Amino acid sequence: MALNDISLCVARGELICLAGHSGCGKSTLLRVIAGIEMPDRGRVFLDGHEISGPNSYVEPEERNIGFMFQDYALFPHLSVTDNILFGLKRLERKAARARCHEIIDRLGLGHLARRFPHMLSGGEQQRVALARALAPQPQILLMDEPFSNLDRGLRDGIRSETISLLRELGTTVIMVTHDPEEALSSGDRVVLMRSGEIVQEGSGGDLYDRPADAYTAEFFSTFNKVQGACWNGFLETPLGRFKAPGFADGHIATLYVRPQCLRVNCDTLGVDCTVVDCALMGEIEQIRVSVAALAEPLKIRSTERLRLRSGDMARISVPPEQVFVF
């Protein structure tokens, strides 16, 4: 089952990021909303009107929903102008031309108007696909991994530009992404999916700072994981004692600690460790340390230049407010 018991409400002008690993149902949900796929049960409403349900089905072209595909799906034999005009067939020719030129000017595509898709860079193709999707002035815009085909250096700038434009236009957007950073930075609300279901939804800060479970925590960050036993509302671990309300005595749980939350110090606090290795990664220094009671080294990421070397002795501590117990 691709989707199961999905319930999602999107407000006018809201930008929603559907996040999750490949195969979790994100793109299927977009296709159901667009009308490309029909659900076995359930209903889809747009602006209060049922567009899909047991007794109703509105054809995709009648839904006034824009869809921007991952590969952009530009017609190779049509110019930029004609690609944009393709989505405006319902308008009279003069009105369609006026709307086409308006969106070309709005997105700064005038110098590309006569070119064909093979003559465009990846970023330019992305903007043309966006222009084509926005030209009919859809009530909602669906975007399926719209930035995944762009080089990393180009992606951040174009994404920021596109999101700013969509917010300025007041466009209602549902965007699919598998990139945690993109989800956290782009959406008014992030909806995390797994196996066809919604695991958690909320602001980026909600999901990053207050993950509901281990899956949510690990999707948005890397962690050191340390097992321990719970007693009297606390988890006992080789790194110390941490609050674990709701766990029964003797229950085995896991402490989740982000690498940037581990502190390296030389005072009497903390746990003794030995430096395994240290690597400079530009702004960040990554250090691996071994603790006697742990089978695997812990990773530490720091913006401080600690200048530690393999074999050095150190002490590490964990701020109790920056950990999770699952």
- H helices of 170-313, in order, are 180-186, 204-209, 214-220
265-278 mean pLDDT = 84
Burial of 319 (0-12, 13-18, 19+ CB in 10 A): exposed
More confident residue, 288 or 267: 288
**pLDDT at 267 (0 to 100):** 61
130 three-state secondary structure: helix
Has residue 153 got a pLDDT over 90?
no
Instruction: Dump pLDDT digits (tens) for 245-262.
Output: 999 999 999 999 999 999
Cα–Cα distance for residue pair 148/8, rounded to 1 Å: 24
**pLDDT at 306 (0 to 100):** 82
132: closest CA among 67, 78, 62?
Answer: 67
More confident residue, 199 or 268: 199
126-138 mean pLDDT = 93
Instruction: Dump pLDDT digits (tens) for 172-189.
Output: 999 999 999 999 999 999
Residue type, 58: V
List domains and CATH numbers for the chain.
15-218 (3.40.50.300), 222-325 (no CATH)
User: What are 94's two structure tokens?
Assistant: 């003069």
Count the helices and strands in the chain (H runs, E runs): 8, 19
**pLDDT at 266 (0 to 100):** 60
